[in-house]
């Protein structure tokens, strides 16, 4: 029997609730595929600070390195907000990204047909949207030196090295090959030298992918186009800061934070987590939407564990549960069937068994 080690970092707030819901789904996949998932648990974020004084320990990082994949819930909350910046729960995220070398962040923004009217944009603009934002995660202005500040000025530096652009470009082109075959590279090459460098290297790497259509867009235009006609995009590849902003715009096209998964990938390790935070306002009430976490599991099956049929089965099951009118509280409207976190995951599990026969 194939077996995989999964590091489970549930975190704070709604993290443990959505993680439990997602692991139930993963266990069902295990039974269906005759695959064994072995879980190792550790605390990260605020709960780890309470226990050890640190947001993440070296042992936890080592545990992640021993695993085939990492699942993360969310970290943070009001209890730890007044701590100094370098001691906050969110430091765990930076330590994980850096420590595991997770240089590419994949954020799909998919509009499920049943939720096309939940977006703040018009239904005809968003229905059918399926965009993948590939954000460079460990370079660029967030990490460049020199940086600093004094009484009269402050400065950061946007630096990209050749190998950093090459590897993220490969990620984008490889992904496009499995999708609609189009990549839009977003930069600010009309103003920034580092962006012209980025563009030149993306063009160079593209020569290895003659089957993929590449175009380039300035970041200001890309922000506008994402809101105007999001359907024009397939894969967007961009630098750390531009990706930070554009992936949030793309995600809001879909309507709810509770529906957005993400993958952070490196050469050796992979981490999957929902885009949302720990939602302290609804923690412990069974109101959290577990679908972002469940879709993060679906991405893990697809990209790391080589179980793409199961990944697809989860997506299809979610779509059908939503079609049947079931909604967690944040998406609920009159006429819908209101369900709790656990009920939503049970519905997905029930559908999975029916769906898996159809997608095989």
Closer CB to ligand NAD, 117 or 281, in the complex: 281
Q: Is 248 a catalytic residue?
A: yes
List the catalytic residue out of 68, 244, 342, 346. 244
Query: For residue 12, what is the DSSP state?
Result: S
Number of residues that bind ligand NAD (CB under 6 A): 22
Closer CB to ligand NAD, 30 or 45, in the complex: 45
Please name the helix (run of DSSP H) or strand (run of DSSP E) that holds residue 246, with its range, or none: helix 240-253
Residue 74 contacts ligand NAD per CB under 6 A = yes
List the catalytic residue out of 95, 188, 287, 351. 188
Residue 25 contacts ligand NAD per CB under 6 A = no
Binding mask 27-66 for ligand NAD (x = CB under 6 A): ----------------------------------------
- The span from the CA of 84 to the CA of 86, in Å, is 6
Q: Is 174 a catalytic residue?
A: no
Give SS3 for 328. coil
Residue 8 contacts ligand NAD per CB under 6 A = no
Q: Is 244 a catalytic residue?
A: yes
CB within 8 A of 280, min separation 6: which ones?
12, 13, 77, 78
Which of 319, 305, 311, 309 minimizes the C-alpha distance to 348? 319
Q: Which of residues 274-293 bind ligand NAD (CB under 6 A)?
A: 276-282, 288-289, 292
- The span from the CA of 121 to the CA of 131, in Å, is 16
Closer CB to ligand NAD, 243 or 258, in the complex: 258
Torsion of CA 59, 62, 66, 71, to 10 degrees: 80
Burial class of residue 193 (count of CB atoms within 10 Å of its CB; 0-12, 13-18, 19+): exposed
Q: Could you list the residues that contact ligand NAD (CB under 6 A)?
A: 14, 18, 74-77, 90, 93, 257-258, 273, 276-282, 288-289, 292, 330
């Amino acid at each position: 029997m194939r077996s995989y080690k999964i590091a489970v970092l549930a975190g704070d707030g709604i993290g443990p609730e959505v993680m439990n819901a997602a692991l139930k789904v993963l266990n069902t996949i295990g039974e269906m595929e005759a695959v064994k998932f072995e879980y190792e648990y550790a605390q990260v974020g605020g709960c780890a600070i309470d226990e050890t004084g640190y947001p993440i320990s070296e042992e936890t990082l080592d545990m992640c390195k021993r695993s085939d994949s990492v699942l993360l819930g969310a970290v943070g909350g009001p209890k730890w907000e007044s701590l100094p910046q370098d001691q906050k729960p969110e430091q765990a995220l930076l330590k994980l990204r850096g420590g595991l070398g997770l240089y590419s962040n994949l954020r799909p923004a998919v509009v499920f047909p049943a939720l096309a009217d939940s977006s703040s944009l018009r239904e005809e603009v968003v229905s059918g949207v399926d965009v993948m934002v590939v954000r460079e995660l460990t370079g660029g202005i967030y990490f460049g030196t020199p940086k600093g500040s004094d009484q009269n000025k402050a400065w950061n530096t946007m630096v990209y090295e050749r190998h950093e652009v090459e590897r993220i470009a490969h990620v984008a082109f490889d992904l496009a090959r499995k999708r609609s075959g189009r990549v839009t590279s977003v930069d600010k090459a009309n103003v920034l030298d580092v962006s012209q460098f980025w563009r030149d290297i993306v063009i160079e790497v593209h020569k290895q992918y003659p089957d993929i259509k590449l175009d380039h867009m300035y970041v200001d235009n890309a922000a506008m186009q994402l809101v105007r006609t999001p359907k024009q995009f397939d894969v967007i590849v961009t630098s750390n800061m531009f990706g930070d902003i554009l992936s949030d715009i793309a995600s809001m096209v879909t309507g709810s934070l509770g529906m957005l998964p993400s993958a952070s990938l490196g050469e050796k390790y992979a981490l999957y987590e929902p885009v949302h935070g720990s939602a302290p306002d609804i923690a412990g009430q069974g109101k959290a939407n577990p679908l972002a976490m469940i879709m993060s599991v679906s991405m893990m099956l697809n990209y790391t564990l080589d179980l793409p049929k199961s990944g697809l089965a989860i997506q299809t099951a979610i779509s059908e549960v939503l079609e049947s009118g079931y909604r967690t509280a944040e998406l609920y409207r009159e006429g819908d069937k209101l369900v709790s976190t656990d009920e939503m995951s049970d519905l997905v599990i029930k559908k999975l068994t029916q769906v898996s026969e159809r997608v095989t």
